[in-house]
Amino acid sequence: MRSDRRPKVAKKYRVSGRVQGVGFRYFAERAARQLGLSGYVRNCPDGTLEAYAIGERTSLEQFKQILADGPRSAMVMAVEETDEPVSSRYSGFVIEGGW
């Protein structure tokens, strides 16, 4: 029996470089929604950007590559990835934090 439902996994990404003040959160939100991911993206006080995403493994791999490329005005130096537990808190993808 073949199942079309693949298990959901969750990842957290920490993106460093010139990633704040360049539209990165909106860029990440748009990409995540196109990939069918749920979770959040936010700026961190240390100047990095954090994204938590839930979805199929292949979609998360695509999302990580998109984060590594970044929007045109950003300069991504690194993307760190960690495995996370899947949270039922997120039904869509949102931008957290107003600054």
Q: How far apart are CA 41 and CA 32, in angstroms?
A: 10
What is the signed CA dihedral for 36, 37, 38, 39, rounded to 10 degrees? -150
Give CA–CA dist 79/47, Å, rounded. Answer: 13
Assign 85 to helix, strand or coil.
Answer: coil
18 is catalytic: no
In sequence order, what are the residues at sequence separation of 6 or more whose Cβ sits closer than 8 angstroms to the Cβ of residue 98? Answer: none
In the set 6, 18, 33, 43, the catalytic residue is: 43
Is 89 tagged catalytic?
A: no
- Among residues 2, 5, 25, 30, the one annotated as catalytic is 25
- Residue 99 CA to residue 92 CA, distance in Å, equals 21
What is the set of active-site residues?
A: 25, 43
